[in-house]
């Protein structure tokens, strides 16, 4: 199962997931000016980041919105970036957050698990109901694919819905998490985790401990590290026995060159240094 590949990648390379949420404005000026088209510069930038970090990251997450914003040419970069990640033998997470039902969800599954936009995992939104997850399950079962389902996010607006108390004195996200883990029971890998994972923002340590304990078979995609304010101590509570999750950082890695000496000329080296620092910070905190 794909979850076993991801688990093994974490064991070998660490917990870092590089978010290739690449905005044109992130490209160093001199590098950007080498290319006739902005789209070419973005793809070559992504390539350099991937090449520099490949041996120290568990996976890459590509947020589709940044590429949709560039139109048709941007979607070609999205396609090429996913292909490049997978050609390198790495695991690609397509951050698409789809959340529809019936035939529409079937088409989303086909679009992002087959053809031009094929990836290994995709993010989905279950808050329309668990029938919004069902159309993806045949790919999980038969095609070595996986899902990361939104569970408890770290944005301020999460309190509007996810934190509402039910009649049973449980938060909405607790109920959603239980449903995710129940669906995931049919897709448990040898590592003990399901190929149906969950997105859990790395905030609120006490909540994190409870979430990790409650959903012990659910592998986590953990955003919020770095530019969003999360640190290694925040992340560590969402892991179990040194594994069980990958930790995403996007701007903190892509823009790390701004804090490096002569950074624009060596942006890929700076990204590698940022990855190594993040990897080691998390490993140290786990050992503590």
Tell me the catalytic residues: 97
Contact between 279 and 14 (Cβ < 8 Å) = yes
Q: How far apart are CA 281 and CA 12, in angstroms?
A: 16
CA 267 – CA 272 distance, rounded (Å): 9
DSSP string, 33-57: TTSSSHHHHHHHHHHHHHHHHGGG-
> Which H or E run contains 275?
helix 267-287
Element spanning 143, H or E: none
C-alpha of 8 from chain center: 16
Going by the DSSP 8-state scheme, the letter that residue 162 receives in this structure is T
- The alpha carbon dihedral of 59, 122, 61, 179 has a sign of negative
């Amino acid at each position: 199962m794909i979850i076993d590949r991801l688990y093994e990648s974490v064991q070998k390379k660490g917990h870092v997931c590089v978010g290739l949420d690449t905005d044109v404005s992130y490209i160093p000026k001199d590098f950007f000016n080498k290319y006739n088209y902005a789209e070419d510069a973005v793809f070559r930038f992504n390539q350099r980041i991937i090449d520099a970090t490949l041996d120290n990251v568990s996976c890459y997450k590509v947020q589709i919105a940044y590429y949709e914003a560039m139109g048709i040419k941007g979607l070609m970069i999205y396609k090429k970036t996913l292909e490049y990640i997978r050609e390198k033998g790495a695991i690609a997470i397509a951050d698409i957050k789809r959340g529809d039902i019936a035939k529409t969800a079937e088409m989303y599954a086909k679009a992002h698990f087959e053809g031009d936009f094929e990836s290994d995992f995709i993010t989905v939104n279950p808050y329309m109901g668990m029938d919004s997850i069902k159309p993806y399950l045949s790919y999980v079962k038969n095609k070595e694919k996986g899902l990361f389902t939104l569970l408890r996010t770290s944005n301020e607006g999460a309190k509007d819905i996810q934190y509402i108390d039910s009649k049973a004195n449980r938060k909405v996200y607790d109920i959603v998490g239980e449903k995710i883990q129940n669906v995931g029971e049919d897709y448990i890998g040898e590592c003990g985790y399901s190929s149906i994972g969950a997105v859990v923002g790395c905030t609120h340590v006490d909540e994190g401990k409870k979430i990790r304990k409650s959903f012990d078979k659910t592998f986590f995609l953990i955003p919020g590290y770095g530019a969003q304010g999360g640190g290694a101590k925040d992340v560590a509570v969402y892991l179990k026995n040194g594994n069980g999750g990958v930790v995403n950082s996007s701007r903190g890695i892509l823009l790390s060159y701004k804090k490096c000496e002569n950074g624009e000329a060596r942006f890929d080296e700076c990204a590698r240094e940022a990855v190594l620092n993040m990897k080691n910070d998390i490993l140290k905190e786990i050992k503590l």
